[in-house]
A and B are shown apart, each in its own frame.
Chain A
């Protein structure tokens, strides 16, 4: 085998973890989803704690699917770098967008998310009034 051929080790021959790992991953995902849904009944006073818990659980689910089901754990590092680079770049870009729109400025994570859209803060203009009637001068001529 040539040197090139020798280095062409296909990473699709992942370590065969058997179905047990996939089942365990699925059960973990199902439990996390159930806990996420249960936040509907968490006390409203928890506020940002609920939001933070949801984001943490979402991130764990994302990583579990990517690492186990998409085999990033066993695959070539380059593939994980490509995917996570895209994901992190997306988060960075759009957090920058949110920051530029001051979305977090008003009341933080626990309150209403608003952004400085002038159309939300500017009162509606008064409805247009009817134009004054045009009075034509009569010349009185025949």
Chain B
């Protein structure tokens, strides 16, 4: 009996039954856990450091004593966090629609997800701008640097996710994502949900835990 060259979804068979693309995305997300773990830990270590420190060579480095926690407006950040959570809901609706071959509905939910993600990014830009106006720049002190690096990296991930959503919508509108390739939408969704998961950690550890 001949071995099937491809399965119903157009993929060559794999031993695990998981497509290489999906497995690759999960491996990537597992490694991202380590990267964000490092950034969160760095913030955790530096968040109480004073503005002025002494270098290992004994040189005094003067910096601002404004810490990120002095400027947090948790009411505003709660709203943006809720928006990102809502975007995970719309993303999962998009994946479900793709599996049901409802491509127009899928594009609608993907577009909604992109809009919610853009609102989150807008909120982050507003927050950063406010912090800078209050006198906490990227190099004001090590706590500020760690904060901007962590949340900035997360914002960059959200921005890349929005681009992925828009590209997926454009490809689907041109008919380049047929039902057989609906897994592509699921893989984009995995990335988006991961971004949400990371924010769940950042919001609690950075903004809420004193």
Report which of B9, B74, B194 forms a contact with A37, defined as CB distance below 8 A. Answer: B74
Known contacts A5-B3, A79-B18: A119-B89 contact under CB 8 Å: no
Q: Are B13 and A36 in contact (CB under 8 A)?
A: no
Known contacts A13-B99, A90-B33: A69-B92 contact under CB 8 Å: yes
Main secondary structure, interface of A, reads helix
Does any Cβ of B come within 8 Å of A93's Cβ?
yes
Chain B residue numbers with a CB within 8 Å of A83 are 26, 29-30, 33
Known contacts A69-B92, A79-B26: A29-B31 contact under CB 8 Å: no
Chain B residue numbers with a CB within 8 Å of A142 are none
Q: Are B29 and A112 in contact (CB under 8 A)?
A: no
Chain A residue numbers with a CB within 8 Å of B139 are none
Bound-state Cα–Cα, A70 to B185, Å: 12
Interface centre among A30, A78, A94, A103, by most B CB within 10 Å?
A94
Q: Are B37 and A94 in contact (CB under 8 A)?
A: yes
Residues 18-33 of B, flagged 1 when their CB comes within 8 A of A and 0 if not, give: 1100110011011111
Q: Are A2 and B2 in contact (CB under 8 A)?
A: yes
Chain A residue numbers with a CB within 8 Å of B93 are 19, 22
Q: Are A94 and B41 in contact (CB under 8 A)?
A: yes
Does any Cβ of A come within 8 Å of B145's Cβ?
no
Closest to A13 in B: B99
Residues 105-123 of A, flagged 1 when their CB comes within 8 A of B and 0 if not, give: 0000000111101011010
Chain A's nearest CB lies how many Å from the CB of B12? 9
Does any Cβ of A come within 8 Å of B188's Cβ?
no
Does any Cβ of A come within 8 Å of B158's Cβ?
no
Bound-state Cα–Cα, A66 to B41, Å: 22
Bound-state Cα–Cα, A50 to B93, Å: 34
Chain B residue numbers with a CB within 8 Å of A23 are 89
Other A-B contacts than A2-B13, A55-B209, 16 sampled, CB-CB below 8 A, are: A4-B15, A10-B19, A11-B17, A25-B89, A33-B85, A37-B78, A58-B204, A62-B200, A62-B201, A65-B193, A70-B190, A71-B186, A79-B23, A86-B30, A113-B44, A119-B53
